[in-house]
Structure formats: structure tokens, C-alpha cells
Chains A and B, each alone.
Chain A
Amino acid sequence: MNALYSLLFVFLLVFIPLFGVGLGHLNTIFGVCIPMTAFVIFILGFAYRIFKWGKSPVPFSIPTTGGQQYAYDPETFKQSKWDNPTNGFQTFVRMALEILTFRSLFRNSSASLHEVKGEPVVAYASAKWLWLFALLFHYSFLVIVIRHLRLFLEPIPFFVNGAEFMDGILQIGAPVLYQSDLLIIAGLLFLLFRRLADAKLRYISLVNDYFPLFLIIGIAASGIYMRYYAKVDVIAIKELTMGLATFNFHVPANIDVSFYVHVFLVSVLLAYFPFSKLMHLGGVFLSPTRNMPNDSRIRHHVNPWNDPNIKPHSYEAYEKDFGPMMAEAGLPLDNPENAKGTEEA
């Protein structure tokens, strides 16, 4: 049901520019106003979210340790440096592995129950599909974003040309097929399929989960349609996008409506991004169970709201309370008076 709503909603979003530009000729609104607004929302919203997270302190050092600690004798007990870091550099490597290779997801396994010779057996099988397709999706997305920079930068930076060259290196078809186009669709379809096929996942999935998937599928599909089928006028589009980048707005007349659909969906994604789970992009860098070294036994970690007024139940009170019994058991007393006990006792 949630999937259906999300799909319908994305369809609705496609119709808006189709009518707006196709029938209403609101080219400037859809080509300039909406994308610019969305971009501003994205930047401000993103910054606001990071700021809000940053405002709350990290009172305790709570890394999840994924291997042997730094021991008193590191030779006998070899530290798992990247899974249980103790200094800044090791923590940096842990984070880099996490963000660049999805290391935690790589651990993924799936538990299943069996009966073997009448005995219950819980089995754990390695389950790396999610990791693989998640990587495919994210890296394709990244490559596509980098490729798109050519539309906003002049001269085109070397890494954009590089990414584009690598992405089309198979030289299939004309225009040349980008592998990232195929892979992102494959990745997205797997993630969607997984969500629908796995009963546990379907059970927890919300509109918030299906919507970004359908939306990004929509973006990818409209992009592919523009490039390989409508064969839109890229020169005219670059005129428009350079106009956006330089605040020197200009809307050429001969751009296909599919471009406006694509741009509108991207605008929705940009505006939606800061208020959605997609903020994991920013959040993953801040996660205290990953970005902290396991060193709070070695170095002092400061909790800004640590309350110095919280004191233990004092030994004095304890001795007052139990003095007579302690004396009887031969335990030393700080104040021999306590051996007599208090009036009420």
C-alpha cells in the first residue's frame, strides 16, 4: 500500500511539468524558478539539519567496538585498528572504510532456522547482496552527479571529463551508453524488489522509504529517455544550466518537455532531501558509535552537562548506618562512635 501511494505520487509529480510546460508553457517557472528554489531549500535545509545535530553534544564516548582493543601489550594482543580505533588516524580510516566501502553492511548475514536430524539449528549465512547493490546504486549516483557538473561548469574540470570517459569506456551504442545508467537502475530495482519481496522489510517500510526509490528511478528513467530516445538538444540545455550557475537566467525555446520533467523531479528530490532519511548522507559522518576512538579509558572525554553535584551515598552515612554490625564483624571504622549505633537504630 505504501509502495503504491509512493508510485502514484511520483506519477503525479511527472504530470505537473508535463502540463505546466507542455500545455501551460511555463518554461521559465519550470526551468528556472522551481530548480533555483529547490536548490536553495536543499542548501539551507542541509545546513540547518547538520547544525541541529551539531548543537546536541556527545556526552559519552560510545563507539561500537568491532574487534580487539588496544591492549596493555599490543604485541601479544594485536589491536583491530580499523574496527576498534584508539586514535584520530585509526578512526579516520574506520570512517573512510565505512563511507567508501559500507564496511558494516559488508558484515551482513542472514539468520535462518533449520532442523537437522531432529535438532534445532540456527544458521547464519553471509548475505552480501544488499551491500553489493547498495554500493552499485550509490557509486552510480555519485558518478552521475559528477558527470552532471559539466552542465554547470565552464571550463569543464578534468575529473568530470575523466568520470565521463570511464563511464562510457565500453563504447556501446550512440550516444555512448554510460554504465552508471544501467547500474543505478539495476541497483534501484534491486533495493525496491528487496523491500517488496522480503516480508520483514515490507512490514517496516513506509512511504518515506518507497518514495525516494521511485523518485530516483523516475529521475534516472527520464534522464535515460532524454539521452537515448528524445535525444534532447544538449547545447540549449547547457545554455540554461549555465544561466542557473551564473545567475544569468536564460531559457532557450527548443528544449524538449522531457527535460522539464527530469528537472522537476530533481527539484523535488533536492527540496525533499534535507527533511528525509536521505540525510543519512550527512548523518553517517556524525554517528558517535563510529566516529569516536575507543579511548575513554586512556584520555578524558568531556561531557558538557556532567553534573558535579551528583555524589555517591557517602561512606560516612554508610558507616553511621551499619556501624554496630561492622564493629561486630571486626571491620575497621573511621569513627569509633559509630560502633554504638544511632538512637533510632
Chain B
Amino acid sequence: MAVPKADELFKSIDYTPPATGWMETPVDFSPGNWCYPAKPEILKSINFPNPREWSPEDEDWKLPPNWRDIVHQGFVERLEKYRSLKLFMDICVRCGACADKCHFFIGSGDPKNMPVLRAELMRSIYRKDFTLAGKILSKLTGSRVMEEDVLKEWFIYFYQCTECRRCSLFCPYGIDTAEVTMMARELLHLCGIGINWIMEPVSNCNRTGNHLGIQPHAFADIVEFMVDDIEEVTGVRVKAPLNEKGHEIIFITPSGDVFADPGIYTFMGYLMLFHYLDLDYTMSTYASEGGNFGLFTSSEMMKKLNAKMYAEANRLGAKWILGGECGHMWRVINQYMDTMNGDNQGPQMITPKNPVTGTVFHNAAATKMVHITEFTSDLMKHGKLNLDPSRNDHLRVTFHDSCNPARAMGLLDEPRYVIKNVCNNFFEMPKGTIREETFCCAGGSGLNTDEIMEIRMRGGLPRGNALRYVQQKHDVNMMACICAIDRATLIPLANYWAPGVEICGTHELVGNALILPGEEQRTMDLRQEPLPGFEDEDDDWTPPNA
């Protein structure tokens, strides 16, 4: 299971397809190629069907006896519910324009990772079950009967798609393989097939309010630690209100920012900013998760988890919601939230208005939810922040567009604006790898688990290589991003493909640059690493790029 060295892995990539046709080419089920299955007790806790112990390595997946029927009926139902699915099953011309747009194909050469072929894994069943030609001329028209092997193949390849939608951008008909993947995963769930890395966070998020299952008191403790750390760096004790009623704003961010390094530094940046503004806000332990792994599970689950945001805003009497840095969270907010749960907004909610600048966020009129980089860029534009960008001068920064804000929203310039206001050294990665054409971290859609590290490193090649380019050309040593999953996944990716580059959120950089009223002279950044000129105080410090 050990991951080969980067240059060996690179040399092993071969774009020549195998000699056998794809229907005849068997799937590799050895460990490392799949994520651990969801534990039965987890599935039970959220009432998902057919929970059981099983392993992808085994011959027998202990499927329910009528699994064929379940899949077929589930397919019928989804064709009736989603025009996208029906259309995407029907109109692909197999022009192959999407083929080398997928990071998993670029890094693996496995033809089943070409988006078109990934979708064909499902289309082949569609043609057999729902089209006349497929029924009569099976083989010639690329149709096949649903067998256990097919279901198993789905499990492997629909969990090697990060739902990043890069393929969809290039397809002349906008065919979105992410949409196909979501449907396939829903069908797999009906048979009790899911992965633990997604289902455990879903279950936790449902009960405790966040992915890791941090309970309210522990959550409060962690926040308190961060307040201590901020004090250590700045000498200022910031407030961090939790579950308080009667504030104007409720702030919701992915819990990854609370518990995981380096997300915590981003979280400190938020707290410092809000303290600086004396913002009338609260956070919540009940809705302590911005992320929504329901998006990777089923539309029902996504709705259920998302519904907490409005429910908590109503309970606490908040007028609008400020959202932290998270990728898929923002896809849910931009494209699903109001559709699913808009009806549950309380009458107290209003179109968000920045209390400091007076800017009304008309572009959030329906959801009542604003992205933190929209909020902060607005403050910067109005000159409301006292900033010292030179405190980030030890960093040479690039920016990774997360898939979802890029291709399911278009939040491209706001984060750049924020970064450029707090950093003097900013460099873009090459064209074709940023903005709407950005490459995935290869750990999105719940695939940020370690048992598939080689797959992730392969999929991470395009991003890693673009990063390597700016590292060599501009000595970039920090990649900023606006996603909590990225902040976890890009670290091993950078260590592998561009060692020496660290990862941060944009509000960590804001926190470094922001001059708090009454602060002490800063000698270190939020990571408690000495700022340039103060290195001597700490002997074992080495420059990040050494």
C-alpha cells in the first residue's frame, strides 16, 4: 500500500488503453484502491438501508437478495426526478473532449477515469434497461446487464470522482459527470454500499453538529484554546461568542477550521477580524459545521444537514448568516440551500447588510448568506481595515481555486482581492490550472481519506505540478485556498509534488496582517513562527523553503 516516490509514480503513467475492451477489463480490488466501507452502526444511526459488515476485497459483498431490483427501481425513480440524469444518459456523443480534463485520468491513465467512460459505466446499464437498441443489440451498442461485477466497478470508479465538474466545463453539452456520480452513489447507498469516511461525518454532523463529532463542551474548549493562542501572538484577548441569542449575524464555518491544523489559523483570523470590527455575531455548537457531506450522499441527507443553518439562525434570532471558507459548503449554499430549505427562513431574516460599510449583499437576497471573502473584501474596499501586509512578507503566496466555489458559483476574484490586500508577494499558477479551469485537490467529495493515498497523489498531479511550477519560478512557499478540505488534502499533495510549500486559508493571512487595536508588537505569525527580523529568538526555526 506504500505510495511510490513521486518521480516513479509519474513515470508509471501510461495513456495507452489496455488491449481488452473496457467491459472485459477486470477491476483491481486490492487494498489502496478503495475507501473503507461504512460501518453498520453508522448507517443504522441515520436509517440508511442494508447496513452490514463487508469488504470490497471479498468475493461476496453480502448484497441484499433483491439488489438488482433495488438498483433498477432506484434508477427509474431518479430518471423521473432529474432531467439532468436522463439527458446526460442520452446525449453524449463520445467526442472525448472531457477525457483528459479529469485529474484522476491525467494522473492514472486508467481509461475508466475518463469522465466519458466513468459515465459509460452507468450508461451501459441505462441502455440495456431503458432503450430499445440496447435491449436487442447489447454488445454493439455498448450495453450490458447489471451484474455484481458492474456494481462493484461502480463502487470503485464513482469513488474515484471528486465531483469537481471540470469535465462539465469542457463538454459541448455541459454533461456533468459529477451529477452521474451523485446518482450512482445514491443507487449504491440503496444497497448499503457507502464509505465510512463520508458516512461517519454525516452521522456525526446530524447528531453533534459537526463532522468530527466534537461535543459542545469540547468545541467550546477548543475555541477557548484558540483565543489563548491569539492572545499569545497579539496580546489581545478576542471574544468568541457561542450559542448566544439576539445577535445580528450567525457565523458558520466548516468544523475543519476548528480542529485541524492549519485550518485553526484561519479560524483565528476570523475571530480577530470579528473582534476588530466589534461585530454583533455568534457562532453555534448545534450548527457547528459548514460542510455538508450529505452532498456526497443523497439529496435528502444534504437537505437534512443543511436545514440546521436556518433552524439555528431562527432560534438565535440572527438576521443573516456569514459563511466561512469551505468549498463544497458553498456549492450547497449557492445551488441548493434556498431551493431545499428557503421555506424555513424565519421572518427575522433579511437580505444581508454589512453593518460596518452599509453594503447590501443583493447577490444573496434569497439565501441570506454571505461568503467571508465577500464580507472581508467589502471591508477592505471601504478602507475599514488597518492592515500591515509586510507581516506576510516571509510568504510568497499562490491561490488554489477550490472546485466548487469556482465551477458552481464563480467566486474567483473576491478571494484574490483579499489576498492581494494582505500580501505583497502573490503569484498565479499557470493558465489552464486556475479559476474556472482549476484542478481538484483530488480529495473532494469525501475522498480525503488516507487509505487511498496513492489514488489521491495521482489525482493530485495536475495541481501539484502547477504548484511546483510557481515554486520553482517564483519561490512560492505558501498556497492559500478557501476550503477546509483543501487545507487538509493539499498538505500531503504539496509534500509529494512540491515539497516545501505550505497551505493556508486566506483569513490566516488576514489575521497576520490585521492590526488589532491595543495589540503588542508582533514577533511571530499565527503559526507562532517568528516574523522576519525576529528569528534569533527561536534557534530551531528554519526558513520554510530550506
Q: Please give the residue numbers on chain A whose beta carbons come within 8 Å of chain B beta carbons, in ascending order.
A: 2, 5, 49, 52-62, 64-73, 76-78, 80, 83-84, 98, 102, 104-105, 107-111, 113, 115, 118-122, 124, 130, 134, 198-209, 275-277, 279-280, 283-284, 286-290, 294, 296-303, 305-308, 310-315, 318-319, 321-322, 325-326, 328-332, 334
Contacts and interface: CB of A to CB of B under 8 A. Distances in A.
Given A62-B408, A76-B381, A329-B216, A289 B174 contact: yes
Contacts of B410: 65-70, 80, 84, 294
Contacts of B175: 287, 289
B400 to A, nearest CB: 16
B179 interface: yes
B172 A104 contact: yes
22 contacts: A54-B83, A61-B335, A64-B174, A65-B407, A65-B410, A66-B436, A69-B363, A70-B363, A72-B361, A76-B377, A98-B172, A104-B174, A203-B117, A209-B93, A276-B133, A283-B91, A289-B168, A300-B338, A301-B338, A312-B308, A315-B312, A326-B216
- Majority secondary structure, A binding face: loop
A202 B410 CA distance: 35
Contacts of B171: 104
B61 interface: no
Interface residues of B, number: 125
Contacts of A328: 217
A108 B17 contact: no
A271 B343 CA distance: 47
Given A72-B361, A80-B410, A206-B142, A303 B436 contact: no
A276 B435 CA distance: 35
A58 B85 CA distance: 10
Nearest to A77: B413
Given A275-B131, A298-B364, A299-B366, A105 B339 contact: no
Contacts of A311: 304, 307
Interface string B355-367: 0000111111111
B474 interface: no
- Majority secondary structure, B binding face: helix
Given A61-B335, A64-B174, A331 B220 contact: yes
A66 B82 contact: no
B231 interface: no
Interface stretch (B237-245, B388-396, B505-513, B530-538): B237-245
Nearest to A84: B410
Given A57-B83, A62-B408, 11 more contacts: A52-B86, A61-B335, A72-B361, A72-B374, A107-B437, A119-B472, A130-B97, A280-B93, A299-B365, A303-B340, A306-B303
A276 B94 CA distance: 12
Contacts of A67: 410, 412, 435-436
B408 A64 contact: yes
B215 A310 contact: no
A296 B366 contact: yes
A310 to B, nearest CB: 5
Interface string B241-266: 01111000000000000000000000
Interface stretch (B5-13, B51-59, B477-485): B5-13
A92 to B, nearest CB: 15
A315 B435 CA distance: 39
Contact of B106 (A122, A300, A307): A122
A216 to B, nearest CB: 13
B311 A203 contact: no
Interface string B199-229: 0000000111100000111001100000000
B95 interface: yes
Interface string B77-90: 00111111111001
Given A84-B410, A130-B95, A280-B91, A300 B342 contact: yes
Contacts of B406: 65
B336 interface: yes
A107 B167 CA distance: 11
B116 A204 contact: yes
Contact of B286 (A57, A209, A318): A318
Given A62-B84, A62-B176, A80-B410, A329 B311 contact: no
B96 A198 contact: yes
A304 to B, nearest CB: 9
B216 A286 contact: no
A59 to B, nearest CB: 6
A38 B218 CA distance: 71
B216 A59 contact: no
Contacts of A288: 83-84, 87, 174
In order of increasing CB-CB distance, the 6 nearest A-B pairs are: A69-B410, A283-B91, A289-B174, A329-B217, A312-B307, A65-B410
Contacts of B95: 105, 130, 134
B282 to A, nearest CB: 10
B87 A286 contact: yes
Contacts of B244: 332
Contacts of B414: 71, 77
A83 to B, nearest CB: 7
A77 B195 CA distance: 40
B461 interface: yes
Contacts of A319: 286
Which has the most chain B C-beta neighbours within 10 Å: A205, A276, A310? A310
A287 B173 contact: yes
A303 B339 contact: yes
Contacts of B245: 332
A308 B133 CA distance: 40
B176 A203 contact: no
Contact of B465 (A80, A109, A121): A121
B300 interface: yes
A60 to B, nearest CB: 6
Contacts of A313: 206-207, 304, 308
B176 A69 contact: no
A279 to B, nearest CB: 6
Contact of B90 (A202, A283, A299, A331): A283
B487 interface: no
Contacts of B468: 119-120
B412 A122 contact: no
B381 A59 contact: no
Contact of B311 (A297, A305, A312): A312
A20 to B, nearest CB: 24
Contacts of B305: 312
Interface string B121-159: 000000000011100010011100000000000000000
Contacts of A296: 334-336, 338-339, 366-367
A58 B96 contact: no
